[in-house]
Amino acid sequence: MTHHPPVAQVFIGYNPRERVAVNVLTDSIQAHASLPVQIAQVRLEQLGSVHQRPQDPLQSTAFSFSRFLVPYLMGYEGWALFIDADMLCLADIAELWALRDESKAVQVVQHQHQCEAGQKFQGMPQTPYRRKNWSSVMLFNCSSCTALTPTYVNTASGLELHQFHWLKDAEIGALPAEWNVLLDVQSIPPEAKILHYTLGGPWFDDCLNCAEADRWSEGHQLLNAPLHPPLAIAR
């Protein structure tokens, strides 16, 4: 029997205004990974008739609802990680992948994020609700998420989806807090593994001075390093 190495399947939410953020996040995941990682982007233009939900005035990203199609895209088999575009990975994704718990349908960082209604990056709406930001990093046990059919994802309310009404509470597992650190919302732990620029990152001109802007800019510079560095000249 041929032995196949484990492969972590990761889906990143794609937002046209955050294309550069998606690319930096992708590179940061791969740069730290000790196992093969297959990364796909959740792009509306690639979902065709599967995602027919009209734009909601309260959604701040293109993937606000399409993220819940990940189990369907996996054929309701195996495991998959969904992650928002506005993040930066600082650690080995294999550590997160190893936390898969077969007794749970989904695993998330269970923030207690209290915010006020208003605006965040680029004038996008900031909406308070129970279990806010839980859905920004989701480790799906896809065979246990069959309730997330395209029909349900297209018709359920935003709160039903993001508050996990499609599961029993006992089916929602917890991930360590360092795997989804909300910048400019909470203090940054020294062991932070994924930074979440939830109020906007330095790829937006109105967020240049956000927390950990320099760290993201370093990742951006690495991604855009010259293909052929100049040769040193002996003197």
Please write the tens of the pLDDT for every residue from 182-218.
999 889 999 999 999 999 999 999 999 999 999 999 9
C-alpha distances in Å from residue 139, one per residue of 90, 135, 185, 216: 18, 9, 22, 24
pLDDT more than 90, % of the chain: 73
114-165: per-residue pLDDT in tens?
655 554 545 555 565 578 899 999 999 999 999 999 999 999 999 999 999 9
Q: Which two tokens stand for residue 151?
A: 């029909």
Distance from C-alpha of 39 to C-alpha of 125, rounded to nearest angstrom: 28
Alpha-carbon span 227 to 37, nearest angstrom: 23
Q: What is the pLDDT of residue 114?
A: 62
Q: Is the whole model's pTM more than 0.85, yes or no?
A: yes
Mean pLDDT of 59-70: 90
Tell which residue, 116, 99, 117, has the closest CA to residue 108: 99
pLDDT at 130: 74
At residue 166, the pLDDT reads 97
Q: Which domains does the chain have, with CATH numbers?
A: 8-222 (3.90.550.10)
What pLDDT does residue 57 have?
A: 74
Our measurement of the distance from residue 58's CA atom to the centroid of its chain's CA atoms, rounded to an integer in Å, reads 19
Residue 111 predicted with pLDDT over 70: yes
The answer to whether the beta carbons of residues 78 and 9 sit under 8 Å apart is yes
